[in-house]
Amino acid sequence: MVNEYTHNDTDQELLSLIKTGSEIAFQQLFQRHWEKLFVSASKKLGDQELAQELVHDLFLDLWRRREELAIVNLPAYLGKALQYRIINKLISKKDKFFFELLENTEESLYKADQALLEKDLTALIISWAEILPERRRQIFIQYYLHHLTTLEIADNLRISQKTVQNQLSISIQDLKAHFGHLLILLVLLDETL
């Protein structure tokens, strides 16, 4: 049978079988990685039921997107994907432990592929922006993601240009305080690769 596997199959071999729809290979991959992800999520969340839900959702998403995924390092991918699910859950709960979790991100960045680093950092910054006050978030997104000038933003939001500049300044200070070490790491890695 084409979809048969052994316990000695690598993650990449199992991923190839999963892309063809092999539920058996998917079960093997799940069994191989589930416990480690569950323990990690449980420690970070302090809630085993929620941790189990997030890990199951992660694997469900992996199955749904199996044909389009191009994963180079599965443990790093699963770890990062779970981390973002945890971050999003904590943000939605407006949990005070959100920024503590970001501190742990630095360890994972060393292990991830360079292509994922920029994407991951952007996702972290966008997640961070979601907890900003509404007006500050609007200004930040329009300036950094839509590349509008402070004058254009002021016109869009019907506020003064000085208010836009002040809000951007506050956002930058907060961003540096929480992500400064990650930004430096990204620059250093970019120069070495």
In a domain, 119, yes or no: no
pLDDT above 80 for 164: yes
On whether both 108 and 151 belong to a single domain, the answer is: no
Question: What CATH code is carried by the domain that includes residue 187?
Answer: 1.10.10
Instruction: Answer with the one of 79, 112, 145 that is the final residue of a domain.
Output: 112
Q: How confident is the model over 117-124, as a mean pLDDT?
A: 69
The answer to whether residues 1 and 68 belong to one domain is yes
Residue 123 has pLDDT above 80, yes or no: no
Note down the domain range covering 143.
Answer: 132-193
Is the pLDDT at 105 greater than 60? The verdict is: no
pLDDT at residue 192, rounded to an integer: 39
For residue 121, is it within any domain? no
Write the secondary structure of the chain as one string of H (helix), E (strand) and C (coil).
CCCCCCCCCCHHHHHHHHHCCCHHHHHHHHHHHHHHHHHHHHHHHCCHHHHHHHHHHHHHHHHHCCCCCCCCCHHHHHHHHHHHHHHHHHHHCCCCCHHHHHHHHHHHHHHCCHHHHHHHHHHHHHHHHHCCCHHHHHHHHHHHCCCCCHHHHHHHHCCCHHHHHHHHHHHHHHHHHHHHHHHHHHHHHHHHC
Task: Return the top range by mean pLDDT from 62-66, 83-87, 179-183.
Answer: 62-66
Mean local confidence (pLDDT), 58-78 = 87
